Amino acid sequence: MENSKIIIAIDGHSSTGKSSFAKQVAARLGYVYVDTGAMYRAVTYYAFTNGFIDNKGKINEEGLKLTLPANKISFKIGPDGKSETWLNNACVEKQIRTLNISNKVSKIAALPFVREFVDAILRKFGETKGVVMDGRDIGTAVFPNAELKIFMTASVEVRAQRRFKEIQEAGGKETFDDVLKNLKERDHLDQTREVSPLRKADDALLLDNSHMSIPEQFVWLNIILLERFGLQMK
Q: What is the mean pLDDT of the chain?
A: 93
> Is 220 within the bounds of a domain?
yes
Q: Is residue 1 in some structural domain?
A: no
* Residue 166 located in a structural domain: yes
How far from the centroid of its chain's Cα atoms is residue 14's Cα? 8
- How far apart, in whole angstroms, are the C-alpha atoms of residue 231 and residue 1? 10
Say if residues 178 and 99 touch (Cβ distance below 8 Å).
Answer: yes
- Residues 73, 18 contacting (CB under 8 angstroms): no
Residue ranges making up the domain that contains 32: 7-229
Count of domains forming the chain? 1
| Residue 40, in any domain of the structure | yes
pLDDT in tens, 127-170: 889 999 998 899 999 999 999 999 999 999 999 999 999 889 98
Q: Indicate if the pLDDT at residue 3 is higher than 70.
A: no
With respect to residue 2, please indicate whether it lies within any of the assigned structural domains.
no
pLDDT tens sequence across 22-40: 999 998 998 988 888 899 9
CATH code at position 22: 3.40.50.300
Output the pTM of the full model: 0.80
* CA-CA-CA-CA dihedral for 184, 97, 213, 176, to nearest 10: -50
Least confident of 35-39, 90-94, 152-156, 174-178: 35-39
In a domain, 174, yes or no: yes
Mean pLDDT for the stretch of residues 162-179? 92
83 or 156, which is more confident: 156
What is the predicted pLDDT for the residue at 158? 97
**Rounded Cα distance, 39 and 42, in Å:** 5
Residue 203 located in a structural domain: yes
Which pLDDT belongs to residue 81? 74
Residues contacting residue 79 through CB under 8 Å, at least 6 positions apart: none
Please report whether residue 209 resides in a domain: yes
Looking at residue 127, its pLDDT comes to 86
Q: Is 82 or 209 the better-scoring residue by pLDDT?
A: 209
